Every structure is written in C-alpha cells, then in structure tokens.
Structure 1
Amino acid sequence: MLLLAPAPTIATVSVVDLLSSSPDFTLLVRVLQRTGLIPVLNMARNITFFAPSDKVLRSLPTELDMPTLLQYMIITDPIVAANMTENEAVYFSYLRAPAAPDVPLPLKVQRVSSADEKVRLEIGSGAAKVVKHDWVADNGIVQVIDAMIPLPDPLCDAVAGSVIKGDMRIFSRMFVMHPMICYLLRYAQDTATLIVPVDSAFDILNDVELSYLMVAAGHDDRLRFLGSHFLYSSVYRQNDTLGSGINVPSMSGAMVTLEKSERGIIFNDHIETVQSDMVFQNGVIHTLPSFLTPYEFFEFSPRKYMFGLNATQFTNELLFHNYDSVLDDTNRVQTIFVPVDSDTADMPVSANSLEYHFTDSLIDTLNGSIVLPSRLSLVSLGGRRQRIKLNMDENAEVWVNGKSKILRAPLRIGNTAVIPIDRALVLPPSLRFAAGSVFEARTTLQIFQSLDFFDDDTINGFTIFFPVDSAWEKLGSVGKFIRSVSGSEVAKQLLCSLMLTEPVYSSAFSSEKFAEYQTAAGTRVSIKTDNRTTSIEFNIGNIESVVELESVDLLFDGGVVHTISSIPIPENIKITPRQLLHAENITGFVELLEASSFAQDVIADDSQYIILAPQDSALTVSNITTATVELEAQMGLHILGKRSTLGGSFLSGESSYDTLVGGVHISVLAQLSDDAYELLIVSDPFVKSIQHIRVLSGGVSTSGAEIYVIDRVLPLSALTPNEVPAWWQAHGILIGLGAAGGILAMVLIGLFWLLIIYRGGQRWGHRQSLGGNIKSFVRFRRSFSGSGRSIVISANVSDEEDDDDEAAVGERTPFLGRTASGRLGSRVNVEDFGDIDEDAEEVELPSRSNEHGSV
C-alpha cells in the first residue's frame, strides 16, 4: 500500500532517471512501474533509495511481495556515506508497520571502514551491502545494494525467537510466558522499546531465585520485572532529545532515565547498553549487562524460595493453614525443611506434622550429626518439642531422621534457611518400632517385650540407655539371670535405672562436669562424657561405670534412645552368687556345697569368693555325690579366696589364689584359646599339677563373688605327690645282686609257712570277720573312672564260703576317693593294693585298714 506522495516538483535528474540510464537496472525499472512506485520516486525529495540490481532481482523467489520490499528500501532521509557522523544509525522507510499504521518501519544502516580506507555501508544489520555508494540525483541519492533487504520481524516474534539463540534466552523465556504484553502492544497500534538484560545479568540470582521467576507462582514478580524493562515508545540512540537525557515511563509505572553516550545509551545514569538499536517492525531492543531494577526489587522470601525449589504441594499446604506470615518473614530466625514435589506421587504431608518441618535455629552448613528441636510440641514429650536429627553417612550425604535425604546445602534468605529434602518428614515412631530398628539390641527388645514396657504409656518424655546384645554377653551369668523369669524384677529395676525421666540428647552431654538426672527407678544418676562423646561415665550412687556409646539420639514419640555397649549395675540392685549359679543351671554343685560346710560362706549374699563351678554333667561323669569321701577337700579345691599376690584377675593369670584346701593355690598358667585355660595347682611345699579346663561362662555378683562355669572336676589326685622310686632302683646293680641271696632265703621260709597255713585254714576261716582277715579272696569286676583304675567289690569271703556269695552282695554305694571302706558294692582303687592280675576272677588282696574300715 503506497503512501501519499510528496508535493510534486520538477526535478532535472530524478532517481528514476539515474536508474533508467544504466542497463543494470532495466528489470528494476519495470518492477517499479508495475508496483506504481515511479511517481513516488520522481516526486519525493531528499530520499535515499537502496536499489537492487537486475542480477539481484533475478535471483529472488517469485512469491516475494515486491511492492512492500521496495517501499521498505525507500528512506525518507538522504544518506551519504561520506557524511555519516555515526557508525550506525536508524532511519525510517516509506513503509508503515502493519500493527501500527502511523509508525514507519525502521531500517538500520552501519558505516564500515574498508581496508582501502573507503567508507562502506551495510544495511539491515548486515543483510545487504552497498556496492555503489552515493549515486546522487536531484531529488535524492541512490545506493546500489547486493541483496534485497528483508523486512524486520515483529518485536514479539523477535523476542520469542531469542529463546533458542543469542544471549537473551533467559529474558525471552520470561517474556513469552506473558503473551498479554504483545497483545496490548498490537492493540495500542504503537511501538515499544524493550530493554533486555543479557543472560549474564541474571548471575545476580541463584538458581532457586531464577527458577521461582520461571514457575507459575512467580507470575506477578515476573510480570513486574518485564514491565520495568518495557517502554511504550521507541527510543533510538540518535534521538535529538537523548543528548540532555529524557525520562520515559515503563510499563510497570517506574520512570526510566535515558541518555546518549559515545557508543550507546546510558540507562538510569549508570547502566550502558551492550548493544543498541536492534530494530523491529514495531519497536527496538537495547541490551544491558545488568537489570534496570536492584536485587531488592524481587523481595525474595522463604515462600518464593520454596516455590523455586519445586515444593509447590508443601508450600500450598502451609498457605492453606495460614502460614503466610511465617513464609514471608525473612527476619525470623528459623530453618524450614522443604519436601520437594515428587514426580511419581503426591507428597503426603499431614496437617499435624507441618510444624515438625520448622526449627527456630538457623542452619547455615551441614557438617556431621546434629539434633535440634522442631516447633512441634507433643503431649507424649510432656509438652516438649520433638527433635529433628540430621546425620551424615559414609557417602557424605545428609539425612533427616534417617529417611529424608537433604538434596542441597541450606539456602539462606535473611535469617531463614530453607533446606530441600526428597520427602516429607515423618514423626518418630513409638518406642516399640524405634527400638526395633536397632538390630543389634534384640536382647533388650525381648526384655522390654516381656516386661510390657512397650505397652506402658508412662514412658513419655524419657531418655533410655538401650544395651546392645554384646552388653548382655559381657555380663555373662548376670545377664542370664536378669533375662530369666526369676530375674524379671531385677531386669525391671535395672532398665528403669537406665531411663531418665526427661529427654536428654547428645548435645546436652557435657565433658566438663557431671549432670544429675532422675531415673525411672526413683534414683539419681550423674552422667559425664569424654571429649569425643563416645562414652558416658555413670555415677550411680557410689558406683562409677564408664559405658561406651554405640548410637545416639534414636528418636521415638516419647523421647530418645541411646544404645550402650556395657551395662552399669546400680548399687541398689543385689544379685547373689546363688542366683548366678541358678541362672547357669548349676544345681549339683550347689547341693554338694550345701552338703559341705562351705555353703554358708561361699554362696552367701555378701560372698566375695571365686567359684569354679563344674557343670552337672561333669559331676556325673566324675561320680561326685554327697557321699563322696573327702567331699570337703573336693569342694574346697573349687573355691578360691583371697589373692596371694596383689592386682590382676583370675583368668588373666596375673595372680595366684588360695583355695579353701589348706596350702593349695591355683592360678591360670596359660590361655589356650578363647575359653580354654591351663591351670597350675600348687600344693605346699613342692607338689604341682597342671589341669586343662574350659570356662563355659561366668559372671560377678554385686557383692564381688566371681562365678566361672567349667567343664570338668578338678581332681584331688592333683594334690598327691609323685611316687618315690624303690630303694633297689635307687642303688646300683651290685646292691641288688647282694640282696638276691636274702630274697632266696625268704622264699624258702615262705614255703614253710604256706604249708602251715594250708593245713590250719579250715579251722580258723569261719572265725575271722570280713574286715579282719589277714588275707581275703575277692571276686571283682574291673572298671575305670576319671581319676584312674578301680574295682567294684562283689564279695568279701574265703574260698570255703563261695556258696554264700549271693547273700554277701549287698548295697552298692559308689563313690570316688583315694581310700575305700570295703563295703559290698563299693568302688576301690586298684593302685591301693599294688600290682594285681586284672584278668583273674579272683585275686588275693592284703588286708588294708583305714578310718572307714578295712579290706
């Protein structure tokens, strides 16, 4: 559509005349004729026509809108390359913008110096070059170009295209999210100036702030920001009014100051353009290295950060429950744990756990483990605030309560820190489930279960020191007793002494002094830690115990659990030696002690003896009963009293211990394996014996008595000295030969006496008692015991009374000893009678007498 031509005047040589005079523009003149532009060029004054040669026209597609393109190349001002004072300038064509009929389309012309120091012109941001400069006619100037100059894009289309190219991508992404701006621009049928910060200008924002400006929640701030960079008129660098500076209102209502500089435009007195005068159909773009607005313009808040972190569900839930003031207050000291939206499911955040995501302390860094109070107060904690626990794993990842992973370092806005997590925080579970997560503390779990502690609602606001399994193992017999049915009251008393009636977290542990607390058992306990907070020193009454900490700050709904690797026994708990022996199922040994004179002292409640208690099976194998000869000595060998040397412990082998057998001492000579030991038994003055035992278990009573369950009986034979060699073995062969004659004489005398005995045996056999025979024939069977060879007497009669054998076999009272009573059915040691023929049915044994009788 042609504009009205200027008032007609007569030109001597017009622009059309110049073009017609050259064969290079024959086709161009015909096109000008067909488009009706000849009259415009003839009657216009002081114009510039950028004329394409016929060669350029022939290379163009046929579908081009030639009238429109040719009008765009007619400029309303004369442009003489040699006279251009600026390196670039914006001129206006005869063509009007489709969206703004009253606004001519701009065309940018750049002056370029060539190697031959001649001035060259480039048109349309380099789209075409002038190949013949300053062809002067009377009514204007012709500049011959080597290509058609394309029409500029509409301003909005140009900005949208910058989303995928150039250094205006960020601003362009924001711009295209508000199509209403372009709609208003078209509706106003006017032009605009768009002031675009380049991408590097957005470095002033962190990624969360920038993300907020790109999400739906950032709509208002994004629109305010765009509006502050949008002017409702086109302002170009060569505007005459820019020299002294002008103020132009932005779309947001703020005034923007513009002033011309040597190479561009200065905005608001200090920001100079990176690039000026990027022309488009209905406006112009100037790019800036920074924002026109200060950082404070955005008024970032915790709420905006949470939206920027893609925590929409959680933030909307908070806003629904009227947390607006909390989320917008940057002066409030707080930390907010923010669960981000999940791609797979909704974020389950219950209304009663919202407060659990807030703490009134400011967390700047994540370093190690920390326990801090949330804002959530619980009745189960006595109105106290439930804690939040942060801990770092071996991969340097930080977790909240062991389940929610922290996704990045804290983001600080004023006095508030925002920490994104991958899932909402879940309140700590009940004690049953919290303790159930401690896999190495199953023994304590079982005790709690048996005592119905998990069902006891009174365990609220408590601290529980939870022994791990290895702690019970260290107690040995004590642990077995406490876990037994008979020890349930002691177990309850012990565990209650390990419960504090208030929550005490690791952050409260002090290495400087003891802190005193009330226990659930009604006692007082003092606690102090070492500098590394890896162990706790308990002071329970007059008993001090150092207890190693395993895990700390295991939260449950009623308090906190700390696991410990050993168990301090308070002084008000009494565990007797008898209870420990019962816990180890040592019944036979206890019966033997009670049959002796030792029981009253050895297994008394205040006993401090060391008791080596053979298990019942060992007593059975060794045939030890209450009727055993020398039972006192047998029991006394297993009871150790005071140390004969100071220091050490029994199993360490550092000390020797007196037994209750006078003059006998026992010590550990060597440890052969984990439970196997070599004992040295010393009987004054010079008798020594080595015995191997296995210590199956043991424990210490509260009075200090030590119980060790062993796998065998310590034999009294260990106290017997070695046999002295026969006198003839100790002398030489000569003495033996000298004695041979005497022996021969004795044999002859013996034969004589045998004859006499044989003849008189029938007369006096019936007169002798069973135990008073000078010689007796004994029918026996051989057997073996743990202490050596022995025989069982079946009858004790002469050869003339064989018929009475059946009647003679009476009671059998087996027992083990170095002497024998000779009663029928009794077991006696073969060694007591010298060498015998063990294969014979009958043997002649010499009569032996002792305090129990005679054989």
Structure 2
Amino acid sequence: MLTTMFFRPLALLASLNFSFAAQVIFSPANTSISSTTIIDVLSNDSDYLSLLQLIQRARLVPTLNRLNDCTLFAPTNDAIKRHSLWSSILEDSSLILQDNIQEHLRQQLFYHLLNYSIPPESEPLKVHKTLHYPHAPVEPPSREPPPHPPWMPIPSGTLGGEPQRLRVGTREENGYVGVDAFCNGGAKIVKGNVTAENGVVLGISEVLEPPPNLATVLSQHSSLAFFHRVLTPEIKKFLNSTSELTLFIPVDEAWEALGHYERIYLESKYATDDLFRILNMHAVVQTGVKWSDSFEPAINLTTVDGTTLEIVVHPEKTTISTADLIEPDIYGSNGVLHLINSLLIPEGALQLTPEKYLLSLNCSSFVSFIHETELTYLINDTSSSYTILAPSDDVLSILSDGELPEPGSEEMKRLLRYHFIPGKMTTKKLHSGMLIETTLQEPGLGGDRQVLRVEVDEHQKDEAWKWLRFGGAKVLSEPVEVNNTLIYFISRPIVPPSDALETVLPMLDFSMFIAAVLSTSIGDKIRNAASTSLLIPPNSAFDRLGLLVSEYLLASSSKPDLENVLLHHVLSSVRYSEALENGTQRTFASAEGSDLTVSREDNGTVFVSASGGWVGMKSRLHTRNILTQTGVVHELSDILIPRSVNLTVGKLMKAAKGSTMISMVTKAGLDWVLNGTSPPEDSQWAQQGFGKAGWVLLCPSDSAFGQYNLTELYGNKEKLVSIVGQHLIPLPSQSNKLIAAPLDDDPLYNNRPLVLDDSVTYSTLQSASSVYGDLVFKQSDDAKGGYIVGIKGARGTDKQTDWANVISWGRTTTTGGGGVIRIDRLFMPYYPSWWTEYGMPVVVGVLGVFAICGFFYCVRLIWRIDTTEATYEPASNTDDDD
C-alpha cells in the first residue's frame, strides 16, 4: 500500500513529461544573466527587495557570494509580508531576537538554499539537501554572533551531520517546493528560474518553514491525534531533545487494536512508563537518521527497547516487521517520522496490569493504599484472576478523618484484602444471600478466608449490576472486565467484620445477651475464640425463659451457671446458613462442652435443642449469616440451657427473693425439695409415692411475711409442714394417687412449670390431709403474671389469705421437672369456722324442712278445698217444664 501511494505521484510526474522543467524553470520568459551573482539577481528584481534586506540583516551576503553553485528558493515580497517573523524584522530594525545575532533568521534562510543547482532535467519529485543544519537550541540562548563572516553552514547538529531535507515536485502542471511524500502542500513556484554566475534563483509564494522538532511534528499530523493526546511532558521532552531519532508511529486506526479500557489507561496520567516503553518499541536512535532511501532492499533496525525491526521493500509496499509503511519521511529538526498502520508491540510485551486499569478508572487513592500496605501483588500480576471491589476517588474523597484505618496499618491491609475476591465473579454467578470468599485470611477463622455477603434483586434481569450489593455496598456502574480481572465500582469501602461482640453490640435487640456476656469472665473467650458460630437470642428470650430463671442466671452469685449457658450458644465451628439448614438432624459441639442438636422440620423450620434444660427445650433458629472476625452469628428465638446447669427449686426461690420460704421448707424437713432430690426412703413422703416426683413450689416473696410471727411459725413444725404443703404441687409420677398434669408441648413456650389454663386445679401436698388442699388458677388481667391462684373451696375470707397474684415463674431442670411460681401472699391452710362448717348447713337444713313442710301443707289445703265443693247440678223439674 505504501509503495503504491508513494510512487503514484512519481508516475504522475513522469506522465507530465517534466512539465515543471519546461513550463516553470525553463520558461521562455526567463532570462539568463551572465557575470552576475545571486545578490545581483535579487537586487535587479523588485519582487525580491524584502528578501534582499533580510539577507543583509542576517549578514549572509558574503555567504551567498562565496557559494559557487547553488539554488535559492526566493520568497517574494508578498510571501515575506505574510510571514510573521520575517515581516516583523523588516518593520522594526531594532528588534532583538532571543538568540545570537539573527541566528534564527539565518537558519531559516539556509533552509531556502541548496548547495547545487537544480539540473534542467530534474526528476518530477526530488528530495534535496538544503544548507540548513538543525541543532539543539542553547539554553539560555547565546547573544554572541559566529566568529566572523562569511558564515558558512557547518555539517553538524541533530541530524547526525546531515542537512535538513526538502522535496520539490509538481502537481497540476505547477511546481512546488517543500511538499510531502505524496507531493501535497508546499510553496508554489511563482517566478521562473534566473540563472546567475553562482547559482539559480526560483521565486516561491510562501516562506519555507524549517521542520520543527518531532514532538511538534506529531502534534501537527491529523492521523496521529491519539498518540499526540497521550504524550506526557516527559515523552515530549524526549522527542524534543533526542538527536538522530527515527520514529515509526502507528496512525490512530492502529491503536484500536487495543481494548477500550487499555486505551483509557494510556490516556491517563499514570501511563507514562508504558507509553515510554511503547515509544521505545517504535523508536530507533542510531548513528544517522534512517530516511526511507536507506531501506532498500532490506534492513534490520534495533529499537531503543531492544526489539528488532525487519524492514523489507517490496514492489507493492514496504513492511516494518508486522506493519505496513503508510507515509515515509515526515521531516523533523532532530529526526524523521514514518507512519505505519499497526502497533509494533511483541505479544505479551505490554503488561497492562489491574493496577494500571484502576489508575485509569479514577481509583488512584485505592491503589495508593494498596502500595502503602505492600499488597501490590494483588494488582500487578496479569496472570492471577481476581474480582476487585474498588471505591473510586470520588467515593473516598467524601469520607472524613477516622472513617478509614491509618494508611499502611494492619487494619488497612485487612480492609483492602476484603475488597479482592479470587476468580471472576460475574453477575450471572451471583445470587442473593450468597457468601463468597475474599483474599482476607483471618487468624480468627483458623487461617481460612473471610467471606462476603452478596445481595441482589433476582427479579431484575436487565443490567443486574444495578441491583447488586457486596457487604451492603452498592455497585455504582457497570463492571469492567479486563484480561483476568473483573472490577466492580462500589459506593463505599467495605469494612471487614469485627469480633462477635463488637459486631452485635449496635443491635439493640440483643443487648441483654451482650450485657450478660460482658458481666462474666468469658467475654474475651467469646470475642477471640477462633472459628466459632454464635447463636444469639433476642431480649425477649429472657422473658420467655421464665423471669425467675432469667433473674437467677443474671444474679451475681450465678456466674458459673450463666457462663455455661452463654458458652452453650457458641458452636466450636463456623457454620453458615447452608450448613445448618441442610439435612434433617445434625449435632454440633458447643464451647460449653456439650452438643447442640439442629433439626429441620418438613416445612423448613429449623430448631436447635439444648443438651440439658427441661424436657422439650427447643429454640427456633433464624440463620442470618452476620459475619464476624472469628466466624458468624445467627439468631435463636429462645435461650438454651446445657446439662451442666442444674436449676433447682432452691436456686429459683433465691431468685424469687424467697429466703423466708426457703427457711420454712428447710425447717419443715422438706429441704430435699430444694435440691431436686428424692425424699429420704424412710420418710412419709417416700412412702406416699413421691420418690421420683417433681415439685412446683408457690413461693411468697419475703415481703409477704410481714404480718406473720415467724418465730411462732417456726416453733410449730406440724403447722409449718401444713403451710409448706399447701404451697407444694407434686407433678405426675408413678403414684396413682396423683392426677397427671401434662406440660405445655409447645417447644417455644414450654418455660412454665405448670399448664396455667383458666380454672385448672392442682393437688398439693396438703390435699392428702385436707379437702381444702387443692389450688385453682384463674386468668386475671390485674395480676402481673396474668393469673391468680387460690385454695379451692375456701370461702368466707374475702380473698385475704386464700388467694394470691401470680407474679412470675421459673422451671427447674431436675429429674421429674418442676419449678417455682412466685406469688404475693402466703397461703395458710384453710380450716372453715364452726358456723361455716356446721351452722350454715344446719340452718339451711332447717329452712329446707320448713320449706318442704310449708309446701306440702299448702298442697293439702288446696286439695281439701277441691274435695268439699259440689261437682254436679241439681235435676230440673220436668212438671214445671211441661
């Protein structure tokens, strides 16, 4: 393609039969003046007066006179008038240029001079060597002139001792000077040649500008817009200051071979090093500038980067390794520029890492943090596959001081690792509730990777990234996929999970459990124990446990039992929701030492059963996957009690503030009830079949004994036993004498020691010796516990001693079950008065007899009246009738 394009103007020129020579240079109107110099020619032609003045100002008259055979391309007065520098010199004779005396003007005039005459048979498109030798400007510019005239050009400078080149060609039957390789542009030859004794003068329509440095050349070429756009000041300095530089620069279309984001990266301010490398792969700095006339028939050149360019000239085109030469020989003051149609980058030579993409995509602060924590291996390896969750500079800029860890700290390192996910997690692979592993390896997880929760609205099918969250951070824009890396831009940094207690602390619904943990010595154990799953109940679970049980566990004297209960809620392994919800029944070890059993119902409900507690103790499991530094947190509906915690009647009575009642039970010889043990074998209680029975004790609080003489009560053991017996309800046992009372079978509401239905009746220990020993429960909106309890059948006391309000209760974990119900009044055994027991029945009986007698008396009177009255009519007198 290149050769076709390059030689097409030559063919055109050949077809014109050298019309340039015939019509312009050797026009009949031109005259040949002998024994005159070029200066004489300029002096004799009014079109060249301005040029002559400039030659005199530059002190080049001796130089031109000394030249034996030369060609001067002479701008006319009109051409010079349009040139800013030359016209300003003519208009202001006092103008001082910022170099040695008229050096800039002198070099430009040399660019209009050839050190030989153009022969009459000149080629249609010919490259000529001028007398202009470009050189690097001196900083600061010298104000001293050359030593003495005549000032002859010295072969030296930035082209390796070669002068600057100039093309002369024709198009449309006109001659032009300073054209490109395709004979475009240039200054038109407007005056035919005038031959002098020491050369030839050709009048041209424009002043010829010497080629600028290569950086300026690049900026002026329309097909190099992309390369010019990515030039950095450092690269421009290199292009301006390097002598004998040969460039093979790809045109804009060639850069499209790179990916969209690769081009974005190259246009960023962070791509200087890579741009330098790309430039060095296309640049040759050797002795001598490599113009295209040195390519034939083939040549190998070594680039600055060390790669080899194989240049071969074919009849139809010229190839530069894998590229085609599109336009050769664009001249510069310090070298030459050749345009090619593709990049000369060996495969794998340009390593565009994730770091470079992050920098180009406005994530420089994120990258800076990565460098400060020495995690650059995460973004500099092109072979590794990662999904990066990147907060942009705009996101990080709005964070206040203290919202992020200190740069370079271990906490910052943890945070950054939490933003990298191994593998490419496209939106198609993600679903809501999914836990994906990050590169953050936690000691608290036994060295395993910390996970990150994914949230996505799976009902939204279009542009799924819009509905995607990682760890609560929203994805802000479409993810960028580059090589092995996928980048999501998120709305905020994702903070890695903290320890279990700190994670749950802001959740107010769990405050009682956290307070309980912090009140014991196991806070650090739960906080730091590696690879654990914390099953945490809400505040309402303490009420559902039974207030007496809660009050006992939270009492300062119950720390060991409380610690065991709390540790029973810590699994000694990390179990996310999937592991807990799959399967029908599984057993997991707890930090307390005993196991928890997880079972799944047919309807999908998951229950957790304790190792101890009371029969049927269960809690509904709500898997929440609240991530912590050491594992995960799930929610339980209720508190679980392990087998290491033995809740006895005595412990619950202490919680009920029933120390007086405890003393009464002890003095009554029923202390075995407090411990949950069987009665002595030789005791009446054992003989009555209470050996394996559980007991529910109605416990009046200490304030209920204010009106009683305790000394008197303690002194009468028989009465004391009856009082205590009135408060003791035996639970179902092997004794046939006891009425079975089934417990509530609701696993989430079985914390009651008794079923407290409305008007339910229970026998007490007193029931065997008294018809008034039974107790009856009734619902009451006025009672704190929702119930009142009284002695069944008691009457005549206006509820002063035989009815009490139920305040709270608690269930024991001892064999046989049982518990304590706190009431606000002491029950005294009910003994009805003589009048209540005998008088009233007699009165009722007498009244009944009288009522019966009166009834029958009235009946008899009515009967007698009925029998004495006539029941027929007298016969009529028939005679009278007749």
TM-score by length of 1: 0.57
- Residue 231 (1) aligns with residue 287 (2): no
Q: What is the aligned counterpart of 2:213 among 154, 173, 179?
A: 154
Q: Which residues in structure 2 correspond to 1:728-739 (within 5 Å)?
A: none
Residue 349 of structure 2 aligns to a residue whose secondary structure is: helix
Instruction: Provide the residue aligned with 2:348 in structure 1.
Output: 296
Q: Does 1:25 align with 2:53?
A: no
Partner SS for 1:60: helix
Partners of 1:665 and 1:231 in 2: how far apart? Answer: 108
**Whole-angstrom CA distance in 2 between matches of 1:350 and 1:29:** 77
Aligned equivalent of 1:554: 628
Q: Deviations over 1:48-67 (max 9, x none)?
A: 54445364478434446433
Counterparts of 1:485-634 in structure 2, within 5 Å, are 485-504=556-575, 508-527=579-598, 537-538=608-609, 540=611, 544-549=618-623, 552-556=626-630, 564-570=636-642, 573-586=645-658, 617=703
Matched residue SS, 1:70: helix
**Contact conserved, 1:50 with 1:143, CA < 8 A, in 2?**
yes
Matched, 1:176 2:235: yes
- Are 1:362 and 2:362 an aligned pair? no
The question of 1:193 aligning with 2:253 is answered: no
Q: 226, 251, 255: which is aligned to 2:304?
A: 251
Counterpart contact for 2:512–2:538, Cα < 8 Å: yes
- Map Cα deviations across residues 71-114 of structure 1 (whole Å, 9 max, x no partner): 2234689999xx9989xx9765331212236322245789999x
- Aligned residue runs from structure 1 range 822-833, under 5 A: none
Find the aligned partners of 1:692 and 1:40 in 2 and give their Cα distance: 141
Q: Is the contact made by 2:328 and 2:338 (CA closer than 8 Å) also made in structure 1?
A: yes
Query: Does structure 1 retain, via aligned residues, the 8 Å contact 2:695–2:729?
Result: no
Matched, 1:60 2:85: no
- In the alignment, does 2:131 pair up with 1:94? yes
Query: Is the Cα contact below 8 Å between 1:526 and 1:538 reproduced in 2?
Result: yes
2:727 paired with 1:658: no
Q: Is the 8 A contact 1:550 1:565 kept in 2?
A: no
- 1:403-482 counterparts in 2 under 5 A? 441-454=510-523, 460-468=529-537, 470=539, 471-477=541-547, 478-482=549-553
For residues 122 and 263 of structure 1, the distance between their equivalents in structure 2, rounded to whole angstroms, comes to: 27
Distance 1:52 1:502 in 2: 95
Match of 1:142 among 195, 199, 202: 202
The one of 355, 374, 390 equivalent to 2:452 is: 390
Distance verdict in 2 for CA 1:262–1:144, change over 3 Å: farther
What's the CA shift for 1:280? Answer: 1.9
Q: Spell out, residue by residue over 1:747-767, the C-alpha distance to the aligned partner (whole angstroms, 9 max, x if none).
A: xxxxxxxxxxxxxxxxxxxxx
Deviation (angstroms), 1:254: 2.0
One-letter code aligned to 1:144: I
Q: In 2, Cα distance between the equivalents of 1:531 and 1:356?
A: 43
Alignment partners' CA distance in 2, 1:304 and 1:36: 59
Q: Secondary structure at the match of 2:247?
A: strand
Q: Structure 1: where are the runs of 5+ without partners?
A: 1-9, 716-814, 823-827, 833-855
Whether the aligned pair in 2 keeps the contact of 1:514 and 1:528 (CA below 8 Å) is yes
CA distance in 2, matches of 1:522, 1:39: 109
Cα distance, 1:464–1:350 mapped onto 2, change above 3 Å: closer
Which amino acid letter does the alignment assign opposite residue 343 of structure 2?
F
Q: Are 1:268 and 2:321 counterparts?
A: yes
Give the direction of change, closer, same or farther, for the CA distance of 1:137–1:482 in structure 2 (3 Å limit).
Answer: same
* Cα distance change of structure 1 residues 571 and 453 upon mapping to structure 2, 3 Å threshold: closer
In the superposition, relative to structure 1, how do residues 677 and 265 fare at CA in structure 2: closer, same or farther (>3 Å)? Answer: farther
Q: Is the 8 A contact 2:777 2:787 kept in 1?
A: no
Q: Percent identity?
A: 16
Equivalent residue letter for 2:619: S
Which structure shows the bigger proportion of residues in strand conformation? 1
The answer to whether the 8 A contact 1:638-1:659 is kept is: no
Distance 1:182 1:463, change over 3 A: same
Code of the residue aligned with 1:280 in structure 2: it is: G
> Which is worse superposed, 17-26 or 576-585?
17-26
For residues 271 and 694 of structure 1, the distance between their equivalents in structure 2, rounded to whole angstroms, comes to: 102
Structure 2: runs of 5+ lacking an equivalent: 1-30, 96-101, 136-156, 457-465, 678-691, 714-718, 733-738, 764-771, 841-882
Equivalent residue letter for 1:173: T
C-alpha deviations, 1:481-519, integer Å up to 9, x for none? 222245333323323333334444557545235443333
Structure 2 counterpart of 1:72, from 89, 111, 121 = 111
1:491 partner SS: helix
Corresponding residue for residue 259 of structure 2: 204
Structure 2 vs 1, CA of residues 707 and 72 (structure 1 numbering), >3 Å: closer, same or farther?
farther
For 1:495 and 1:658, locate their aligned partners in 2 and report how far apart those are by CA, in whole Å: 35
CA separation in 2, counterparts of 1:135 and 1:466? 102
Q: Secondary structure at the match of 2:348?
A: helix
CA RMSD of aligned residues (A): 6.9
In 2, Cα distance between equivalents of 1:657 and 1:84: 128
Contact 2:500–2:526, Cα closer than 8 Å, also in 1: no
- What is the TM-score with the length of structure 2 in the denominator? 0.56
1:293 is displaced (CA, Å) by 0.4
Matched letter for residue 571 of structure 2: L
- Distance between the aligned counterparts of 1:50 and 1:69, measured in 2? 12
Secondary structure at 1:96 match in 2 = coil
- Residues 499-555 of structure 1: CA deviation (Å, up to 9, x unaligned): 334444557545235443333343233446899999664574886532234563312
- What is the rounded CA distance, in whole Å, between the counterparts of 2:506 and 2:517 in structure 1? 14
**Secondary structure of 2:626 counterpart:** coil
Shift of 1:230: 0.5
> Which of 76, 97, 104 is the aligned partner of 2:163?
104
In structure 2, the CA distance between the partners of 1:635 and 1:427, relative to structure 1 (3 Å rule), is closer
Q: Per-residue displacement from partner, 1:117-141 (whole Å, max 9, x unpaired)?
A: x979696899997576464546767
SS at match of 1:388: strand
Higher relative contact order (CA 8 A, sep 6+): 2
**Contact between 2:500 and 2:534, CA under 8 Å: does it hold in 1?**
no
Is the 2:661–2:699 Cα contact (8 Å) retained in structure 1?
yes
Which secondary structure does the structure 1 equivalent of 2:619 belong to? Answer: strand
- Counterpart in 2 of 1:801? none
What residue in structure 1 maps to residue 336 of structure 2?
Answer: 284
What does 1:275-354 correspond to in 2, within 5 Å? 278-286=330-338, 291-294=343-346, 296-299=348-351, 311=367, 347-349=407-409
Q: Which amino acid aligns with 2:235?
A: V
CA distance in 1, matches of 2:220, 2:482: 35
Q: How far did residue 281 of structure 1 move?
A: 0.8
Q: Distance in 2 between matches of 1:408 and 1:350?
A: 30
- How far residue 390 of structure 1 moved from its aligned partner, in angstroms, is 3.3
